[in-house]
Amino acid sequence: MLDFPKWKIWSVWLTILVFTLCAVPSFMPQSVRANWPGWVPQPTVNLGLDLAGGSYILLEADMFDFSRVRLAAKRDEIETEFRRQDPRIDIGDISLRDNRITFMVRDASQVDAARERLLTLAGSGVGMTGQREWTIEVRDSTRFIVTPTQAGIAQAIDQAMNDAREVVDRRINALGTLEPTIVRQGADRIVVQVPGLQDPEALKALLGKTARLEFKLVDITANPADIARGVAPIGSEIMPYPDAPPGIPYIAYPTQEGHQPQIALKRQTIVSGDQLINAQQEYNQNQEVVVGFTFDAQGGRRFAQTTQQNTGKPFAIIVDGSVISAPNINEPILGGRGQISGGFTVESANQLAIALRSGKMPVQLNVVEESTISPELGAESIEKGIIAGIVGTAAIVVLMLLAYFRFGIYANIALVVNVIMIIGIMALFNATLTLPGIAGFVLTIGAAVDANVLINERIREELHRGRANNAAIEFGYKEASRAIFDANVTNVIAAFIMFIFGAGPVRGFAVVLTIGIVTSVFTAVTFTRLMVSNWLKTRPKELVI
């Protein structure tokens, strides 16, 4: 067991060398690393929110807005089904009131056909209950009432929150931040922690956007007086146009302070943000900041066809239910590319571009709690952690030297190598160190010392039994290693469970604990045995332990 072939010796030293090199950048100040050549890898350990400072916000889904948008989407679906499918079913104007959809079928003989078509739109069943997402009711022989079921709402919000978490993840990653924590909390909340970000307002502005992008034709037949009273022509809807230029005849301008200009738009969407494949901040020919976008092939064809058929008419660019601009179509827009102008700054254009690129937020998220953690607080924690670590390590070093002499030196060397390897592995995998992670770090150092104590005490027992030096060491490592492996396997299982079911700091603790267990076993058992093996080659006459 004390015989090490050359390949094994080289493997041990090579492993230590690689992780030591990985740990070096984490000990260097940023000013020093900035001067390193670009081709030199610089893996570093990231600091979590509690150490580096940063922003924390708690987002909650706007259930009222979610129900309203879901109801409007179902209305559009019904209109498309009845008016475009063959045979066409003529229906009156659709009303959205009291959280339900109401409309009348003009021809009573088409009621049964209308009901059959609605059944295909009511969902196939939710969960174990099999309840449809929508209930369909016929009153007064021709009036349909479509109402969402509670089971359908619960399923829809669950899916929407899962999708929203992914969108939040994409938007924050686009900021270039490291190791954000994004987790669902309950049925309708998402917790976001972004280490290093000291501007929660920018984060709120980015995540507060639904980024629902739509292009619709302006209804130039609408009467501004009717628009001001909230009355739109059939097939159109009224939307706010905050930055409307003055003097346009089909826009209703406010007469009271605090009100916004209103404009009537055709309800049918020409193209939506779902068909975007790219969006970015850029400048137009007048050097104004705009957001450039590119549609996919289908969106580009539809946009080109619509602009060809409506040249000379205005169309509106709408983001989150508010008109950004409503320019005239001077010529067909081909190629699937366009620009959104609207008095942007570089920052606001970048935020809108990120929001559009990351996809539409399936549900409006409101900030219900926010806080900013100062980096000074984390620096104080790091400083105190380092002091505690130095004092604790020094005490351990002295104790091990006094207790085990030469074998205490080996244990101390293994302890230092263990610390360096933990940092190197964390840096290599871009892991994040948090306050609970520091606790895991210290715990594994204690485990490493425990392993050496077990080995050394076992060697003492074998010497007291009268075994020769080499035999005592051989048996000591062999017998103690079993206990060390058994104990650490259970620790790894516990850490794995914490990682699977935990979140945020708990996961950070589990990661550091797992890495530390692996390195402590390697250094305490394998590395110290290698050093002892080399010493035994000198044929020592006496073994003092």
| Residue-level pLDDT at 177 | 61
Q: CA nearest 239: which of 210, 255, 219?
A: 219
96 or 341, higher pLDDT: 96
Of 157-171, 306-320, 427-441, the one with minimum mean pLDDT is 427-441
Query: Are residues 384 and 521 located together in one domain of the fold?
Result: yes
426 or 41, higher pLDDT: 426
- Find the mean pLDDT for residues 271-284: 81
Confidence of residue 12 (pLDDT cuts 50, 70, 90): very high
pTM: 0.60
Q: What is the CATH number of the domain that holds 334?
A: 3.30.1360.200
- Tokens linked to 162: 């899962």
Report if residue 470 sits inside a domain: yes
pLDDT digits (tens, 9 = 90+) for 424-458: 998 888 777 877 888 888 778 777 788 889 998 98
Query: Are residues 426 and 509 located together in one domain of the fold?
Result: yes
Produce one character per residue of 501-519: b if its CB has 16 or more CB atoms within 10 Å, e if not.
ebebbebbbbbbbbbbbbb
- Please tell me the distance from the alpha carbon of residue 451 to that of residue 470, in angstroms, as a whole number: 20
Report if residue 160 sits inside a domain: no
Is the separation of the CB atoms in 88 and 114 below 8 Å?
no
| Residue-level pLDDT at 338 | 78
Q: State the residue range of the domain holding 275.
A: 209-370
Q: CA nearest 372: which of 495, 503, 505, 197?
A: 197
Report if residue 488 sits inside a domain: yes
Report if residue 528 sits inside a domain: yes
Is the separation of the CB atoms in 50 and 448 below 8 Å?
no
| Residue-level pLDDT at 421 | 92
Query: Are residues 307 and 406 located together in one domain of the fold?
Result: no
| Residue-level pLDDT at 1 | 58
Report if residue 313 sits inside a domain: yes
Last residue of a domain, one of 370, 400, 429: 370
Report if residue 343 sits inside a domain: yes
| Residue-level pLDDT at 118 | 85
Quick one: 402 exposed, middle or buried, by C-beta within 10 A (0-12, 13-18, 19+)?
Answer: exposed
Highest mean pLDDT among 8-12, 78-82, 172-176, 463-467: 8-12
Query: Are residues 437 and 526 located together in one domain of the fold?
Result: yes
| Residue-level pLDDT at 492 | 87
Last residue of a domain, one of 340, 370, 400: 370
| Residue-level pLDDT at 333 | 77
Report if residue 164 sits inside a domain: no
Query: Are residues 122 and 224 located together in one domain of the fold?
Result: no
Query: Are residues 405 and 324 located together in one domain of the fold?
Result: no
- Find the mean pLDDT for residues 512-518: 88
Q: CA nearest 47: which of 532, 471, 377?
A: 377
Confidence of residue 20 (pLDDT cuts 50, 70, 90): very high
pLDDT digits (tens, 9 = 90+) for 350-385: 777 777 777 778 888 888 888 877 766 667 777 777
- Please tell me the distance from the alpha carbon of residue 206 to that of residue 66, in angstroms, as a whole number: 19
Query: Are residues 478 and 521 located together in one domain of the fold?
Result: yes
**Does position 336 have pLDDT exceeding 70, yes or no?**
yes
Q: What is the CATH number of the domain that holds 496?
A: 1.20.1640.10
| Residue-level pLDDT at 377 | 65
Query: Are residues 99 and 25 located together in one domain of the fold?
Result: no
| Kind of pairing between the strands at 432-433 and 46-47 | parallel
Last residue of a domain, one of 370, 395, 416: 370
With a CB cutoff of 8 Å and minimum separation 6, the contacts of 394 are: none
Query: Are residues 395 and 434 located together in one domain of the fold?
Result: yes
Question: Taking all residues of the chain, what is their mean pLDDT, rounded to a whole number?
Answer: 83
Produce one character per residue of 248-270: b if its CB has 16 or more CB atoms within 10 Å, e if not.
bebbbbeeeeeebbbbbbbbebb
**Does position 15 have pLDDT exceeding 90, yes or no?**
yes
Is the separation of the CB atoms in 12 and 530 below 8 Å?
yes
Complete DSSP assignment for 168-179: HHHHHHHTT-SS
**Does position 18 have pLDDT exceeding 90, yes or no?**
yes
pLDDT digits (tens, 9 = 90+) for 120-129: 887 766 556 6
Confidence of residue 179 (pLDDT cuts 50, 70, 90): low
- Find the mean pLDDT for residues 288-295: 83
117 or 13, higher pLDDT: 13
| Residue-level pLDDT at 437 | 80
With a CB cutoff of 8 Å and minimum separation 6, the contacts of 460 are: 476, 545
pLDDT digits (tens, 9 = 90+) for 68-84: 888 888 888 888 888 77
Query: Are residues 234 and 337 located together in one domain of the fold?
Result: yes
Is the separation of the CB atoms in 416 and 520 below 8 Å?
no
| Residue-level pLDDT at 11 | 93
Is the separation of the CB atoms in 7 and 534 below 8 Å?
no
Query: Are residues 235 and 276 located together in one domain of the fold?
Result: yes
Query: Are residues 228 and 99 located together in one domain of the fold?
Result: no
Element housing 440 (H / E): helix 435-464
pLDDT digits (tens, 9 = 90+) for 195-223: 777 677 777 777 777 777 888 899 988 88
Highest mean pLDDT among 43-47, 343-347, 520-524: 520-524
Q: What is the CATH number of the domain that holds 113?
A: 3.30.1360
Q: How many angstroms separate the Cα of 446 from the Cα of each of 83, 396, 407, 506?
A: 73, 9, 17, 20
Q: How many domains does the chain have?
A: 3
Report if residue 70 sits inside a domain: yes
Q: CA nearest 279: which of 369, 366, 211?
A: 211
